[in-house]
Amino acid sequence: MKNAEWIKRSEDAFIGTYNRFPAAMVRGSGCRLWDADGKEYLDFLAGIAVCSLGHCHPKVTEAICRQAGTLVHVSNLFHTPPQIELAELLVANSFADRVFMCNSGAEANEAAIKLARIHSSQGRYEIIALAGSFHGRTLATVAATGQPKFHQGFEPLPQGFIHAEFGDPQAIEKLISPRTCAILCEPLQGESGVRPLDPEYLRAIRSICDQHGLLLIFDEVQTGLGRTGTLFAHEQLGVTPDIMTLAKALGNGLPIGAMLTTDKIAASLTVGSHASTFGGNPVAAAAAVEVLTVLLSDGFLDSVQEKSRYFVTRLEALAEQYPHLAGGVRGAGLLLGLVLTEQGIEQGAAIVAQMFEQGALINFAGNRVLRFVPPLIVSKEEIDQLVGKLRSVFDQFS
């Protein structure tokens, strides 16, 4: 069956919540995808920063198949070995002592919100988030998200979320009240245009939390698990959170999320206070164990940093060649954005569409940058291919 037939069937069956590319993807391997018409794509989206080990990584695939033939689901009424192994790996390689498992980044953030509220004294329920943030699509995480476009039509939103101006610690201080229990932020904002939070800014946020007895929650759903060149982005920034959320790359495509915290804070969630039927199910957990094993293997994260430096150099050269379209590069590791000029912004969506025609997948984030989140296994040759295609497209808009 060809693309057109699959697309027609899709449009006849689904609620129209997605603006999809005109392709039905049927196969993936490494950094490549193929659609139903047989066209090949160089994938620098990775399922929106999910398939960090590439499509159908052999070790992850083997773990999924092995576990699917052994035990798929029993719920969290029972202990399961893959889930336990995953929790031990997360604890051993992070600041945390305890883990709660769920199915997505939004659910992980919901768990963090509930934990922050129940851990804090009565009457303290308000969470300060940042303008430009993105924390999920559930009602609570939409309310936490600092982008009004995601709020429209869903009002009234749940109470208890306020937003501070990005980059200004004093703006946060002014919002603190006797109701405040936590500050929630991403170490690097991905959806609003690949905006890193300055280390000094994050250290100031940590200091504010300490001074006022607030919890610091890091949403590392997109930045965690090697994406920025270390296992967690905050490791590079000299700031440790009280609670951290993970998802996306954790299962390399299988839905799984996690909330991590310390013994002291975790004690506030007791039996029956929170749950997830499918959270950390054996198949997803088995995949995640393999993902972490690969990420933690000798030299893997060093290679991400090396490829990041190479990619940044290539993108900076492109920006110099086309100054009317691009003004520079920002981000960390292999979460990078090519910042567009005002002229480039006008063409941003069209550039992405032309790259798709050229057989390369990227996206336009925050109406400001071309975002690149390739699998962490991407090669320098594939980076060269991507930049070559982008140069060809830029020529069309010059």
Find out whether 257 and 250 touch, Cβ atoms under 8 Å: yes
Residue 309 annotated as binding site: no
Strand 326-332 to 243-246 pairing? unpaired
Residue 106 annotated as binding site: yes
Domain boundaries, the chain: 3-57+298-396, 59-295
Q: In this predicted model, what pLDDT tens digit does every residue of 304-326 receive, in sequence order?
A: 999 999 999 999 999 999 999 99
Distance of CA 245 to the CA centre of its chain: 10
Split at pLDDT 50, 70, 90, the class of 26 is very high
Residue 306 annotated as binding site: no
Q: Is it the case that residue 230 has pLDDT exceeding 90?
A: yes
Cα distance between residue 312 and residue 316, in whole Å: 6
The predicted structure's pLDDT at residue 54: 98
Residue 378 annotated as binding site: no
Three-class secondary structure of residue 136 per DSSP = coil
DSSP 149: G
The predicted structure's pLDDT at residue 264: 98
Q: Is it the case that residue 276 has pLDDT exceeding 90?
A: yes
Three-class secondary structure of residue 305 per DSSP = helix
Find out whether 188 and 365 touch, Cβ atoms under 8 Å: no
Q: In this predicted model, what pLDDT tens digit does every residue of 142-181 receive, in sequence order?
A: 999 999 999 999 999 999 999 999 999 999 999 999 999 9
Residue 221 annotated as binding site: yes
Fold topology of 59-295: Aspartate Aminotransferase; domain 2 (3.40.640)
Residue 277 annotated as binding site: yes
Q: Is it the case that residue 398 has pLDDT exceeding 90?
A: no
Fold topology of 3-57+298-396: Aspartate Aminotransferase, domain 1 (3.90.1150)
Q: In this predicted model, what pLDDT tens digit does every residue of 172-226 receive, in sequence order?
A: 999 999 999 999 999 999 999 999 999 999 999 999 999 999 999 999 999 999 9
Q: Is it the case that residue 121 has pLDDT exceeding 90?
A: no
Three-class secondary structure of residue 143 per DSSP = helix
Q: Between helices 380-396 and 300-321, what is the axis angle to 10°?
A: 20
Cα distance between residue 275 and residue 297, in whole Å: 32
The predicted structure's pLDDT at residue 331: 98
Residue 220 annotated as binding site: yes
DSSP 40: E
Three-class secondary structure of residue 180 per DSSP = strand
Q: Is it the case that residue 334 has pLDDT exceeding 90?
A: yes
Whole-model pTM: value is 0.97
Residue 137 annotated as binding site: yes
- What tokens appear for 170 in the block? 């004093």
Mean of all residue pLDDT scores within the chain: 97
Cα distance between residue 114 and residue 67, in whole Å: 32
Cα distance between residue 140 and residue 110, in whole Å: 7
Q: Is it the case that residue 15 has pLDDT exceeding 90?
A: yes
